[in-house]
Structure 1
Amino acid sequence: MDQLQQVDQYFTNHREKHLEEMKEFLAIPSISSLSEHKPDMQTAADYLANLLEKAGMENVQVQPTPGHPVVTAEWLHAEGRPTVLVYGHYDVQPVDPIELWDTEPFKPEIRDNKIYARGSSDDKGQVFMHVKVLEALLQTEGKLPVNVKVIFEGEEEIGSVHLDQFIADHKEELATDVVLISDTALYGPGKPAVCYALRGLAGIEITVKGSKRDLHSGVYGGGVQNPIHALADLLSSFHDEHGTISVEGFYDSVRPLTDEERATYAELDFSEEDIKEETGVKELFGEEGFSYLEQTSARPTLEVNGVFGGFSGEGIKTVLPAQAGAKITCRLVPDQDPDEIVRLLRKHIEANKPAGVDVEVAEFDKGKPFITPMDHPLIQAAGRSYETQYDAKTAYVREGGSIPIVSTFDEILGAPVVMMGFALSTENIHAPNEHFHLENFDKGLRVVSDYFHEIKDYKK
């Protein structure tokens, strides 16, 4: 029996034990955005550290930050072999609306070979998978085929606000040849995908202020600017009727797709009708001149995520509100800079500000876009490892979402980032009834184990 066969048998023999441990991990309500869960964040970090110690990792530490802890560990005895830095996050999103969950979000339950719980897919289930890969390799082989460092954070869902500084402060300890992340999705059921690019992020909140207090619409209406009307005009100025963003200079730095990338997109088994059915919309709409896949992964966006102001309760209240607002996020592509995009948004807002109101702009999450060359040997190796378990050709894709810390790994550590996800887009990430298909958990264990062996002879 060769090494990977032994590892495969280990996963089979310990599957029930591993699932029980995963349930314990998922049961910890590690919601990073809610202050009342700060003790739970520490509990989750400690639990993760304990798993790593039991797996056989060394120098396991729960390191404090000004926010939530960072869990680190290492095993560095593979002389002459490359070093892999495994990243993931143990924090999760809030569970609201709680009434839409079929089972309690922090009481994990397995149904139809899927595990239901908040964080099961994003990202605690996939983090747990990596820990079990390390355990299996160390317990069956007594060593790892490569050097491995681990960094698991507790603030990804709130923008990794303290991790940039942590990485900068620990640059030498985190030095690596490649960063490995499982926080993305397969292309579809049974269809593996290596993500080689992520969109960046720039978020703002606009507040439109009119009168010093809410006014009676019968007394003042028609003579005083309504902030909601002003906000609607301002929001409509961001796009033309074809879905193109109208902010001057917004597209100036966008790196176009290469011919090879366009050819790869064309080869993907994609159906717009499937998207319509999945989303429940009658027709798709986006920037003119680009396909849906390009619009959602390789082109920048400007989306209004929320609008507020005035009276929205039952019945009617004849009020002219004192202020109104909107939350906006932009997804960015290489080589757009979040700070520059925010500057352009501010300039556009000032130029299009309606009469009779003041407009304030507050900045929120920012993250730079990221790309690793699709033909990089570490990217291609990931594709080969997927194909040991999935009976389908690996797709090489850009991800429409953002993982802001990825660009930090690239800039500070100077290492390529390989994103091998095992989630599915249909697993209700950030929504009620989040779940993780255990078929992909089982295959993911074996894919990642193979990948460590696949790249053991890699040289820069």
Structure 2
Amino acid sequence: MSAISPVLDHLDQQLDHSLQRLFELLRLKSISTDPAFAAECRKGAEWLVADLKSIGFDASVRATPGHPMVVAHHDGPAGAPHVLFYGHYDVQPVDPLDLWESDPFSPALKEVAPRHKVITGRGSADDKGQLMTFVEACRAWKAVHGSLPCRITILFEGEEESGSPSLKPFLEANAEELKADFALVCDTDMWDRDTPSICTSLRGLVGEEVVVTAANRDLHSGMYGGPAANPIRILARILADVHDENGRVTIPGFYDGVEETPSQVLQSWETLGQTAENFLGPIGLSQPAGEKGRSVTEMVWARPTAEFNGISGGYEGKGFKTVIAAEAMAKVSFRLVHKQDPDKIRAAFRKFVEGRLPADCSVAFHPHGGSPAIQLSYDSPFVAKAKSALSEEWPKPAVLTGSGGSIPVVGDFQTYLGMESLLVGFGLADDRIHSPNEKYELSSFHKGQRSWARILDALTR
């Protein structure tokens, strides 16, 4: 009999017990953004430490200027890989409370259809249910074999939902202790209820606020309209110049470091059935507005963008005021892919704006964060092993996907620990994370445990 078979059997037999442990964790109101819940966040960290110690980890609560970290270590066989598993135990606020169908901190198992059960409660999907799938896989390995198949370090954060202010300093200060061969991150989704996925790319991000100023005060548009420079018109023209008629960004050097997605990967994405109609239809749109000649999947997962997230200037109250504003402001974000350099993108955008500014005007820039894209090798042996393990567990084979968003911790692991991350999650798009009535599929929790057990086994072969 293979080493994995009794582990999977044990997970099946112990599902009810694993649910009770998850419910204990879900009852803790670890809302990181609200200082009123600081004690609950610490209780969450302490609960996890006690649970990890119960299965043989050397675990401890680590103080930070904010909420504590949980760090745990367990030895593995000589020559086996060393992995760092990351998750977060903090949760989002529950407001508006009146929209919840039940108490967000009284988790329950609810049958929503015949043979279809979900776990309800804040944090069930994001990220307590997800992180406990890995812990339960480790517990089963220990119960069956008395050991783990590889060396494991665990890092559970308590500030992910409030911007992770303590994470970078903690990684930098503890880099030697936390370094591993690669990281495992369970904070992502499946493609659908039957199809697991491995996220192989995350877009980077550059945020920039630009303020154009002309006259030294707001002006009467009748008295000064015509001769006086109008910052709103100037800024609108500059922003309009950022894209050409084909949807490409015109900033010089913007596409430096952008690679074409391999044709075999594009073909695999086509098999997922994502179309412009089913992607845009639910939000009331029908026509793709990005780069011509690219599918919506490629645009979101593998192409860079420039988007305008806010624009203001002049009178914005009720009624009408005939004024030429002294200044106009826009918030601009760039999603980056492959090897684009955030610093170079920011500098190129500023030069682009300054080059289009009339002599009478000035401009100020205010940065709002920047991080590079993450791109795993499509032929990474870790990816191949995890894909095979997932495909053995779920009804449909695992797919390699990308993410249009950013998960900053993955970049931080690369920057401070020098290692790549394998992103495997078991959430679904309708789990309502960050919203009232958050839920986590029972199948995600159960088969997620089995999946991690299989992945740990596969990584050692």
TM-score class normalised by the smaller sequence: 0.7 to 0.9
Q: 1:126 aligns with which of 124, 130, 145?
A: 130
**Which residues in structure 2 correspond to 1:306-385 (within 5 Å)?**
306-308=310-312, 315-316=318-319, 318=321, 320=323, 323-353=327-357, 358-385=362-389
Distance verdict in 2 for CA 1:345–1:176, change over 3 Å: same
Q: Deviations over 1:283-310 (max 9, x none)?
A: 3321122111110011111222334555
Distance verdict in 2 for CA 1:289–1:145, change over 3 Å: same
Q: Distance in 2 between matches of 1:107 and 1:325?
A: 45
Q: Distance in 1 between matches of 2:436 and 2:331?
A: 22
**Aligned residue for 2:80?**
81
Q: Distance in 2 between matches of 1:276 and 1:220?
A: 44
Distance verdict in 2 for CA 1:20–1:372, change over 3 Å: same
8 Å CA contact 1:216–1:318 kept in 2: the answer is no
Question: Is 1:57 matched with 2:57?
Answer: yes
Q: Distance in 1 between matches of 2:84 and 2:426?
A: 18
Q: Distance in 2 between matches of 1:287 and 1:33?
A: 38
The offset of 1:390, in angstroms, is: 0.9
Question: Is 1:170 matched with 2:174?
Answer: yes
Distance verdict in 2 for CA 1:322–1:68, change over 3 Å: farther
Q: Deviations over 1:330-384 (max 9, x none)?
A: 2111101111111112222222346765432221222221222112221111111
Q: Distance in 1 between matches of 2:233 and 2:158?
A: 40
The offset of 1:144, in angstroms, is: 0.8
Structure 1 counterpart SS, 2:396: coil
8 Å CA contact 1:230–1:357 kept in 2: the answer is no
8 Å CA contact 1:335–1:369 kept in 2: the answer is yes
Q: Distance in 2 between matches of 1:324 and 1:37?
A: 39
8 Å CA contact 2:133–2:448 kept in 1: the answer is yes
Q: Distance in 2 between matches of 1:435 and 1:309?
A: 41
**Aligned residue for 2:410?**
406
8 Å CA contact 2:200–2:401 kept in 1: the answer is yes
The offset of 1:386, in angstroms, is: 0.8
The offset of 1:208, in angstroms, is: 4.2
Distance verdict in 2 for CA 1:254–1:104, change over 3 Å: farther
Supply the AA of the counterpart residue of 1:374: Y
Q: Percent identity?
A: 36
The offset of 1:151, in angstroms, is: 1.1
Q: 1:238 aligns with which of 225, 242, 249?
A: 242
Question: Is 1:12 matched with 2:16?
Answer: no
8 Å CA contact 1:298–1:398 kept in 2: the answer is yes
Q: Which moved more, 1:146-155 or 1:276-285?
A: 276-285
The offset of 1:280, in angstroms, is: 3.1
**Aligned residue for 1:437?**
441
Q: Distance in 2 between matches of 1:319 and 1:132?
A: 65
Q: Distance in 2 between matches of 1:379 and 1:147?
A: 18
The offset of 1:160, in angstroms, is: 3.9
Structure 2 counterpart SS, 1:383: helix
8 Å CA contact 1:159–1:365 kept in 2: the answer is no
Q: Which runs of 5+ in 1 are unaligned?
A: none
Distance verdict in 2 for CA 1:291–1:169, change over 3 Å: same
Supply the AA of the counterpart residue of 1:153: E
Q: Distance in 1 between matches of 2:333 and 2:241?
A: 15
Question: Is 1:146 matched with 2:145?
Answer: no
Structure 2 counterpart SS, 1:172: helix
Q: 2:267 aligns with which of 263, 266, 276?
A: 263
> TM-score scaled to structure 1, two decimals?
0.87
Q: Which moved more, 1:202-211 or 1:251-260?
A: 202-211
The offset of 1:395, in angstroms, is: 1.0
Q: Which moved more, 1:263-272 or 1:238-247?
A: 263-272
Q: Distance in 1 between matches of 2:295 and 2:160?
A: 30
**How many pairs are equivalent?**
455
**Which residues in structure 2 correspond to 1:106-117 (within 5 Å)?**
106-111=105-110, 112=112, 113-117=117-121
Structure 2 counterpart SS, 1:388: helix
Q: Which moved more, 1:194-203 or 1:403-412?
A: 403-412
The offset of 1:228, in angstroms, is: 4.6
8 Å CA contact 1:84–1:180 kept in 2: the answer is yes
Q: Which runs of 5+ in 2 are unaligned?
A: none
Structure 1 counterpart SS, 2:386: helix
The offset of 1:27, in angstroms, is: 4.1
Structure 1 counterpart SS, 2:156: strand
Structure 1 counterpart SS, 2:363: strand
The offset of 1:5, in angstroms, is: 4.0
8 Å CA contact 2:306–2:332 kept in 1: the answer is yes
Supply the AA of the counterpart residue of 1:73: A
**Aligned residue for 2:401?**
397
Q: Deviations over 1:134-177 (max 9, x none)?
A: 22222332211111111122333455444334333323222322
Distance verdict in 2 for CA 1:280–1:107, change over 3 Å: farther
Distance verdict in 2 for CA 1:341–1:148, change over 3 Å: same
**Aligned residue for 2:299?**
295
Supply the AA of the counterpart residue of 1:47: W
The offset of 1:216, in angstroms, is: 7.0
8 Å CA contact 2:374–2:410 kept in 1: the answer is yes
**Aligned residue for 2:90?**
91
Question: Is 1:68 matched with 2:72?
Answer: no
**Aligned residue for 1:44?**
44
8 Å CA contact 1:174–1:413 kept in 2: the answer is yes
Q: 1:456 aligns with which of 449, 455, 460?
A: 460
> TM-score scaled to structure 2, two decimals?
0.86
